[in-house]
Structure formats: C-alpha cells, structure tokens
Structure 1
C-alpha cells in the first residue's frame, strides 16, 4: 500500500488485500523456519544420541508429514532403531528368564533436543511476525 493512492471507497479492499499479502508472506516464512527447525532437530539428535554402535545416532530422519497452503507438520524420527527411542529416553528394566536383573538408566536426548529447537523456533516466529 506504500506509495499507492486509494479512494475512500476502495480503502477496505486495499486493507484486506495488504493483510492477505502479509499473511501469505508470514505463512511462507514460517513454513521455511519449521523445515529448518526439523533439520536442526535431526542434527541435534545425531550429536546427542547414545552411540553404542552409532547406528541409532545415524538413524535420525526428517520428513514433511503434512503440508497445505496454510499449515506444515514436520516429523523427526529414527528410521533404523525406532524401537530404542523410548527405552533410551526413559530407561527400562532388564529381564532375563522371567526375572528382573536390574535397570538401565535413562539417557534423555529427544526431550532436550525438542526443547532447544522449540525455543529457537519461537524466537524466529516472533521476528517473522513483527516483520
């Protein structure tokens, strides 16, 4: 709207048009930031994951689970050793021949990575919306 002359009758239409353009720009920038956040989360998990065989740490993947004109959902998951994610994150009991043999302590890596990336994405969101 900068530099454009608008009549009083066309003011409402001009405002609506500008708001739509702003909304579309914010949406596109946010989608890009969500994609970047997924990539950063995957990288963070590869670094912070337990590395007994390194297969688990290398197994982290990112994919776009859903996207339309106004929304995007990015999923970060372990493709190679998905069965271990809960056991490693929260710990577990060792059972052998039906008897409890001890416990394995938790090695939190998913929660901390998620929190870190969430904080970064929130900061970037504020910057994008403010323009």
Structure 2
C-alpha cells in the first residue's frame, strides 16, 4: 500500500524526493567521471609515442576543487604534447609528421561519458 501524505506535506515530500534523486545522480556522475578519467589515462599511456617511455609514463589525472576530473601531462614532458600532436619544423628545414595520439582518445572518452550519463539519467 502506498504511503499517505497530507496535502500540507506534499511540497516537502516532493522536495525531499527530488533532493535524494539529485544526490544519487550527482554521486553516480562523479563515479562515471572518475572511471572515464582512469580509463583515459590508461589509453593515453598506451597510445603515446614511445622513445624513452618517459612521455607515456607522465600522463596522470587530478580532481579539481569544483569536482571535475582533468587528465594532464606532468612536468617535464608537458611541453611535448602540442609538438607531438601537431608536428613541428626540423632544424635544417622540413617538417616532422604529427603523431596524433590525444585527439582519438579524447573523442572516445567524450562520447563514452555522454552515453553513460544519458543512460544513467534515463533510469
């Protein structure tokens, strides 16, 4: 049998249920962000160009104060991300071909995040 609620308590009950649902959704989305970030770091380490291996090892993630997760390249190899992804000029002329390794992972992570959040919100 359903709970009986007086008309006076209806607004409070609806508000409390919406707060509970919102808290559950926010917690689930935080878990999704953490999982996607961990997967992204693993994929970037695997797809990064390897010469000495230091560049690939320096991919890491961090949780920001506002709750967002960010994937970044630690020092001292953070300067190489743009150069490797976009290519660069050689010392004696010519160009070095770009080694695209960040963009495909980013696209996959974004689409995976969107699909998982949409799936969670449709429950």
TM-score (norm 2): 0.92
Q: Distance in 1 between matches of 2:100 and 2:3?
A: 56
Deviations 1:56-108 (A, max 9, x none): 111101111223xxxx211111114111000001111113xxxx521111111
Residue 4 of structure 1 deviates from its aligned partner by: 2.5
Match in the other structure for 1:35: 34
Q: Is the 1:66–1:74 Cα contact (8 Å) retained in structure 2?
A: no
Q: Distance in 1 between matches of 2:10 and 2:34?
A: 36
Q: Distance in 2 between matches of 1:79 and 1:45?
A: 13
Matched ranges for 1:3-18 at <5 A: 3-18=2-17
Match in the other structure for 1:79: 74
Q: Is the 1:41–1:76 Cα contact (8 Å) retained in structure 2?
A: yes
Alignment equivalent of 1:90, drawn from 80, 86, 92? 86
Match in the other structure for 1:21: 20
Moved over 6 A (4+): none
Q: Distance in 1 between matches of 2:7 and 2:58?
A: 60
Secondary structure of the structure 1 residue equivalent to 2:64: strand
What are the ranges of 5 or more consecutive residues in structure 1 without an aligned counterpart?
A: none
Higher strand share: 1
Q: What is the root-mean-square deviation of aligned Cα atoms in Å?
A: 1.5
Q: Distance in 1 between matches of 2:20 and 2:68?
A: 22
Stretch moving more, 58-67 or 117-126: 58-67
TM-score (norm 1): 0.87
What are the ranges of 5 or more consecutive residues in structure 2 without an aligned counterpart?
A: none
